[in-house]
Amino acid sequence: MRLDINRNETLPVYMQIANRIKEQILSGILPAGFVLPPERKMADDHAVSRTTVIRAYEELKALGLVASHRGKGTVVTERKVPESHGNDQKVFPLSWYPLFDKKIANVSDTVSELMHAGNHNDVISLAAGIGDPNLYPISTLQQIQRESPLESDQLNLSPVEGLYSLRESISRLMTGRNLSVSAKEVMILAGSMQGIDFAARALLSPGDAVIVEEPTFLQAIQCFRAAGAKIIGIPIDREGIRLDVLEAQLARYKPKFIYTIPAYHNPTGVVMSIERRKGLLDLAYRYQVPILEDDPYGDISFAQEKLPPLKALDPYGYVIYLSTFSKVLFPGLRIGWTIAPEPVMRKFALLKQIADLHVNTPGQFLVDQFLRKGYYEAHLRRTSLDYQKKRDVMAKALTQAKGLIHFEIPDGGFYFWCRIPYQISQKELLALCSDQGVIYTPGNVFYPQESDGEHWLRLNFTYESMDRLERGLSILINAVKKLNKQSSQTDLETGSRPIV
């Protein structure tokens, strides 16, 4: 039994197998009583794991199309037609996948898979995109609630653009980032991810080009892909996006906008130099291309001096600025903001009405009080000090990998961007670490073409406690050493040399 499986399709292989068999059952090609191949044979015939086949068969069982019989195997069930009552007709299970828009079909579910895996207490997560839950300012927020209990107004609807008092507080916060804006120029969002989504929906049509740094934030890639955009990756180095490569692509593709993370870039941790920032703006002006600046990590800095955001250097209104409290406070609030030119803000307000009307009012009120009472800066200093210590622990551990893991030490943010030896399989490393209760984020998900980044991985140093962080790193490093040794032994036995 041969099934057509497309390895380039984003739909999981087990679902492809289940769908192909389902089509044959419903069309009558596979009659009732037909015995499907044993799981192991099906796996061998299609070069997949036995687990993949088991999951496919379980999907079919859930639809009532097959059943397992001891000693016989997995058998196509008899599709019983109910007794006819007038115009009653037979109803088959609805196949949803052909109904989904093709743009959504090309978006992978990497984030959900990582979040699900990281939610188990026994799993040490180096894949997390959040800070340490033990540093959440719970007692301070409880004190604010006691001193300023919620009233009916704070449980009512908020303006689409957000509570004006919170917009005022954020405008004052932005002065610390060398950006002077009024409250009217600030719009509250459900996290900066909503701003990325709004930019995609407001500016992109299927087939449009958008430029991103390569690698870049994986959910931005997913968002632009869902909009049907052509994603053009521009490599970055230690100073940020490569302007020489960028200029050539600007002339060639005429993109709708450039998406960038200048401060403590996700996933690399790179800070764009002031010269690159000015050069990027010059190119944007010359080619008349707007910039979507994502700044979730700018305040989490271990350096003596912070560089101004692109928005602060832009007198001509080319930059749409996004930021969030998800990284500094905690992600469950889902409160971010945008500062953008007035025509863009009008479109974003319209999209906000369509999407969810406004950000939850009690959450806005709570954050506003947190800022107004002066708690933010003290909390930022405390968390930054703790994260710097964890960063140093990770750097020390990775250094002991004896050159097997290459990395740069970040001056802020959440992540180390690491390269492993070329002869080590990412798939094998993921499996070996997962078996020992450690997860990380493979580098390929941060590239528009996921075939890139095979030998890179992103490690978070902020989420886990110090002892769990050290334990997780020890497991990861030992796994790298083990696979590297196995690969070296194979090379000696075969006489082959790794391609680098």
pLDDT at res. 452 = 84
pLDDT at res. 311 = 98
Average predicted confidence (pLDDT) for the chain: 90
pLDDT, one tens digit per residue, over 323-342 is 999 999 989 989 999 999 99
Between 180 and 63, the more confident residue is 180
pLDDT at res. 122 = 86
pLDDT, one tens digit per residue, over 436-466 is 999 999 999 999 987 788 999 999 999 999 9
Q: Report the DSSP pairing between strands 258-260 and 291-294.
A: parallel
Contacts of residue 146, defined as CB under 8 A and 6 or more positions apart, other chains included, come to: none
pLDDT at res. 488 = 73
Confidence of residue 499 (pLDDT cuts 50, 70, 90): very low
Concatenating the DSSP letter of every residue in 279-333 gives HHHHHHHHHT--EEEE-SSTT-B-SS-PPPPGGGG-TTS-EEEEEESTTTT-GGG
Neighbours of 133 (CB within 10 A): 14
Q: What percent of the chain has pLDDT over 90?
A: 70
Q: Contact 143/303 with Cβ under 8 angstroms?
A: no
Q: Report the DSSP pairing between strands 73-76 and 209-214.
A: unpaired
pLDDT at res. 114 = 55
pLDDT at res. 82 = 46
Q: Contact 222/243 with Cβ under 8 angstroms?
A: no
The C-alpha atoms of residue 97 and residue 95 are separated, in whole angstroms, by 6
- Cite the DSSP H helix spans in 27-109: 39-46, 50-62, 102-105
Q: Report the DSSP pairing between strands 456-460 and 415-419.
A: antiparallel
The C-alpha atoms of residue 211 and residue 230 are separated, in whole angstroms, by 9
pLDDT at res. 81 = 47
pLDDT at res. 500 = 35
Of 138, 460, 117, which is closest to residue 329 (Cα–Cα)? 138
| Per-residue DSSP letter, 94 | P
Confidence of residue 255 (pLDDT cuts 50, 70, 90): very high
Confidence of residue 430 (pLDDT cuts 50, 70, 90): very high
Confidence of residue 238 (pLDDT cuts 50, 70, 90): very high
The C-alpha atoms of residue 24 and residue 36 are separated, in whole angstroms, by 12
Between 212 and 101, the more confident residue is 212
Between 105 and 346, the more confident residue is 346
Dihedral of CA 352/354/356/361: which sign?
positive
Using CA atoms, how far residue 218 sits from 24, 166, 329, 374, in Å, is: 36, 29, 22, 34
Q: Helices 361-372 and 164-175 meet at what angle, rounded to 10?
A: 40
Between 5 and 290, the more confident residue is 290
The residue-averaged pLDDT of 225-249 equals 96
Q: Distance from CA of residue 493 to its chain's centroid?
A: 40
Of 379, 323, 394, 369, which is closest to residue 165 (Cα–Cα)? 369
Of 312, 315, 314, which is closest to residue 323 (Cα–Cα)? 312
pLDDT, one tens digit per residue, over 347-358 is 999 999 999 999
pLDDT at res. 498 = 44
What's the token pair of residue 276? 């690159």
pLDDT at res. 451 = 75
Confidence of residue 70 (pLDDT cuts 50, 70, 90): confident
Number of helices and strands in the chain (H, E): 16, 16
Q: Contact 202/348 with Cβ under 8 angstroms?
A: yes
pLDDT at res. 322 = 98
pLDDT, one tens digit per residue, over 86-128 is 566 667 777 776 777 766 656 655 555 555 544 556 899 999 9
What's the token pair of residue 297? 């990590």
Residue 497 has pLDDT above 50, yes or no: no
pLDDT at res. 483 = 95
Residue 5 has pLDDT above 50, yes or no: yes
- The pTM assigned to this predicted structure is 0.79
